[in-house]
Amino acid sequence: MASLTIQPGPAAGHDTYIDEDLPTLNFGTCDYLLLRNVSNTIAKASIEFDCSSIPGDATCNSATLYLYHYEAARGAYNGSVWSIAVGNAAWPEGTHCGGTGGANDCCWDHLDQASGTETDWAGSPGLETAVTDYETPAIGTFALTGDEGVGDEEPITLNAARVQGWFGAVNTNYGILVTTTANDRIKFCSSDHVTAPFRPKLVVNYTEATTSTSTTTVSTSTTLTSTSSTSTSLSTTSSSTTSSSTTSSSTTSSSLSTTSSSTTSTSFSTTSTSFSTTSSSTTSTSHSTSTSSSTSTSISTSTTSTSTSLRLQFWHRYTGTLKKRLHKKPWCFPWYLAFDGADSILNCGSDGGLDDIPAGGNGQITADGWVRSLSTGELSTGVIMQKADNPGNTDGWVVRVQANGLEGRINAATDARSVSGTDEFDPTDGIWHHVAMTYDKTGASTPAAKTIYLAVDGGWVTSYTAQIVGALPYSVDNAQDLTIGNNTGVGRTFDGDIGWMRVSNNIRFAVNTDFTPPERCELPTIDANTLGQWIGPEWTGATIDNQEGTAARDGTQADCGFNCDCWK
């Protein structure tokens, strides 16, 4: 039996997901595959493995799909794997991660969203029509326990007969569709994931059709006489020349030599004996049979198709510890928090060093970090980070998402305010972005005083939907807690993931000069201007350590998911 393992990377991989909530967006280059079935909004993944190198007449003995968790499981969920129907055979992976689809991009609405010449899915949007869009019944199922962590493996046994149809140059492989059941949300790693062992994998065990055989049969019978003479007869069927010799005496030896271009199997009476050799070398095996006299048979086989099973067994036995170590998960940091859009929060308190930053010292503040937003959040104003009062929101500062994009506020509604617009920050795209808000009360380090400037992925917003210059003295915020992902009042929970966040008492990035943002998977170096930095590798239970080092500014999280995808 032969085996083929397929685990392609970004270049060769062919996988994506489609999202009913974002029906015109393509996700072909995302590093994760989203499965969702919540409140009747669906997301499903499609994957294709190239099995054409397996001979078309081979028999599939087993096939297992391995998917790896991108984030910790959120519950004991179930899912299914389906064969995509022939009518959708030409689905393209696409070239975006949350971008509007175009030519060679699939999305929920269309198989190919080439503008003006869109190609529909064979049955209905989202491959929702059984038989026409996907074959029935399912070719595999899986069930999560809810205990799965980042990088954990999810093995899924596939229907071997259906996978056999993927073999050969001419086949019926149109890819698979992975779905989940009601009230579920699961993320698996895609072929674009930075950690190669976490990419989707298919393992196929198969048997090739037999094309030629060589069989050698040796039957030995012994008859004893009073003179202890032994008669030995040898019968050989082979595609090669066989010679045998027999001598009667108290000791009889017989030799048989067989050369074949195919695998040779030898049987003695009803006993089967297998031989193990290295390629193009010779292995000798001797067998002896005792009667009143001694009979020995020696067989030497030379072949161009050999097995190294004994050597491999030896190797695996003594490398077991090494193999386990090689398959151990890589180290991952910094982690990120998942906010549920309902009640998650990280509260970092109100230590004096965090109070009134826009009014104290040089009157400068930069709030920056990494976010991945799935929607506008609770009440359509999901907080990223703030130190402001609730619910009036007239004191302090805040940076958050809302329907029009990224928003920064000083003294909230009645003073300085800037909003990006969704063309520069889309709160529903599900993509990691570095965001930054700056404010300088004197204007010494910014184009204008008391003006909020926003940056996304190192590019400054160029066209604000709103930009109001501050006119009022800063309202003190020393009675308010600094919070991430929510506020402490009426609830403005962020919906999505937040990586490391930092607040500083300077202007960290030259305003209106594009810059390279700090890495998401590397914590920024703490310097004299860092007042607080959260969500990194250090955590104990509900406590999120302040990386700056002041323990009074440590955060306390509630109802957050704790995940990581920054593998080292």
pLDDT in tens, 8-39: 999 999 999 999 988 999 999 999 999 988 86
Same domain for 343 and 488: yes
343 with 298, same domain: the answer is no
Residue 315 lies in a domain: no
Pair (340, 203) in one structural domain: no
The phi-psi region of residue 328 (left if phi > 0; otherwise alpha if psi is between -120 and 50; otherwise beta) is: beta
| Of 394 and 300, the one with more pLDDT | 394
Asked if residue 489 belongs to a domain, the reply is yes
Q: Are residues 188 and 222 in the same domain?
A: no
Residue 324 lies in a domain: no
Contact 57, 209 (CB under 8 A): yes
Domain boundary among the residues 175, 207, 239 is at 207
List, as one string, the DSSP characters of 336-382: EEEEESSS-EEE----GGGTTTTTSTT-EEEEEEEEEESSS-GGGEE
135 and 273 share one domain = no
pLDDT for 146: 86
> Measured between alpha carbons, how far is 374 from 494 in angstroms, rounded to an integer?
9
Find the domain containing 387 and state its range. Answer: 336-563
240 lies in some domain: yes
**Residue at 323 is within a domain:** no
Same domain, yes or no, for 192 and 340?
A: no
Q: What is the pLDDT of residues 509-567, one digit of tens each?
A: 999 999 999 999 888 999 999 999 998 655 556 889 999 999 999 999 988 888 887 87
Q: Which of 192, 207, 222 is the last residue of a domain?
A: 207
Task: Give phi and psi for 312, each to the nearest 5.
Answer: -65, -40
Q: Quick one: 516 and 419 in the same domain?
A: yes
On whether both 88 and 163 belong to a single domain, the answer is yes
**Pair 228, 203 in one domain:** no
In a domain, 314, yes or no: no
Average pLDDT over residues 127-132: 95
Q: How many CB atoms lie within 10 A of CB 49?
A: 25
Report the domain count for the chain.
3
Among 207, 234, 250, identify where a domain stops. 207
Amino acid identity, position 508? R
How many Å apart are CA 85 and CA 172, to the nearest integer? Answer: 9
Kindly tell me if the per-residue pLDDT of 49 is higher than 50: yes
Q: Please give the helix or strand (H or E) that residue 137 lies within, else none.
A: none
289 in a structural domain: yes
Say if CB 41 and CB 183 are below 8 A apart: no
Whole-number Å distance between alpha carbons of 254 and 55: 41
pTM, rounded to two decimals: 0.49
- pLDDT on residue 76: 86
114 and 238 housed in the same domain: no
Residue 495: pLDDT above 60?
yes
> Does the pLDDT at position 345 exceed 80?
yes
Q: Are residues 85 and 127 in the same domain?
A: yes
Residues present in the chain in total: 568
> 568 or 91: which carries more pLDDT confidence?
91
Is 406 inside any structural domain?
yes
| Residues 386 and 482: beta-carbon distance below 8 Å | yes
Report the CATH number at residue 394: 2.60.120.200
Residues 472 and 556 reside in one and the same domain? yes
Mean pLDDT of 81-88: 96
